[in-house]
């Protein structure tokens, strides 16, 4: 079990994500990463090992401030702990970017189908299958909610997902099945997190996302 934090609002998403992930460190992890919406698309930054390594990497990069993003600490279940296997995972053009807690049981079957549809895979994770499946249905339907719900119908296993789309720069999407995920509403924005401590210093207004529920 590892951690998810997402934020959209007036504050620096990078700051909120790193602070939130730090509060989830007690759950254990082997790598970490964030995706931040930028003027020209979505930027993904990941690192193996401690959150402080990711923090230093981000400080060095000094990206322009972003008000929307998703972050993740990974506890590897499929594939070794590495930067490539760390989340967020994304499509080749970074138009759909996703973080995941849990295990996708039928990922090999889904991977084979997506491979036949022309998708390339770079990591050993089950999660990369999820983001490419969402992309597959996004290309078919043109709407994030429809794409996520169709992907959920295909996936067997447990998941909490945080998803952002390049076409929807100020929006955060989330869905879950048998893995915890909550929404927080603060004075300055909205958050998602896998556990309450991640957002407790920001808000006490918390909504527990239901099983098989999708949030926008």
- Residues of this chain that bind ligand GLU (CB under 6 A): 2, 74-79, 85, 100-103, 125-127
- Shortest distance, position 2 Cβ to ligand GLU, whole Å: 4
- Shortest distance, position 85 Cβ to ligand GLU, whole Å: 6
Cβ-based nearer residue to ligand GLU, 63 or 103: 103
- Shortest distance, position 186 Cβ to ligand GLU, whole Å: 25
Cβ-based nearer residue to ligand GLU, 14 or 85: 85
Cβ-based nearer residue to ligand GLU, 157 or 169: 157
- Shortest distance, position 53 Cβ to ligand GLU, whole Å: 17
Cβ-based nearer residue to ligand GLU, 85 or 186: 85
Among 168, 205, 173, smallest CA distance to 186 is for 205
Q: Which residue is nearest to ligand GLU (CB)?
A: 2
Cβ-based nearer residue to ligand GLU, 47 or 101: 101
- Shortest distance, position 66 Cβ to ligand GLU, whole Å: 23
């Amino acid at each position: 079990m590892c951690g998810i934090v997402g934020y959209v609002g007036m504050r620096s998403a990078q700051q909120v994500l790193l602070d939130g992930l730090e509060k989830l460190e007690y759950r254990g992890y082997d790598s970490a990463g964030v995706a931040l919406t930028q003027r020209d698309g979505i930027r993904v930054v990941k690192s193996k090992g401690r959150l402080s390594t990711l923090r230093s990497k981000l400080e060095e990069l000094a990206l322009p401030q972003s008000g929307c993003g998703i972050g993740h600490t990974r506890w590897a279940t499929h594939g070794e702990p590495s930067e490539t296997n760390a989340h967020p995972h994304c499509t080749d053009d970074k138009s759909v970017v996703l973080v995941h807690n849990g295990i996708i049981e039928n990922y090999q079957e889904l991977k084979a189908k997506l491979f036949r549809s022309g998708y390339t895979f770079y990591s050993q994770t089950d999660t990369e299958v999820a983001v490419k499946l969402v992309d597959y249905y996004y290309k078919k339907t043109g709407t994030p909610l429809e794409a996520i719900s169709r992907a959920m119908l295909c996936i067997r296993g447990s998941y909490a997902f945080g998803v952002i789309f390049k076409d929807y720069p100020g929006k955060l999407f989330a869905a879950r099945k048998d893995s915890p995920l909550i929404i927080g509403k603060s004075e300055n924005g909205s958050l998602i997190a896998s556990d309450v401590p991640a957002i407790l210093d920001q808000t006490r207004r918390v909504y527990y996302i239901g099983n098989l529920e999708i949030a926008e």
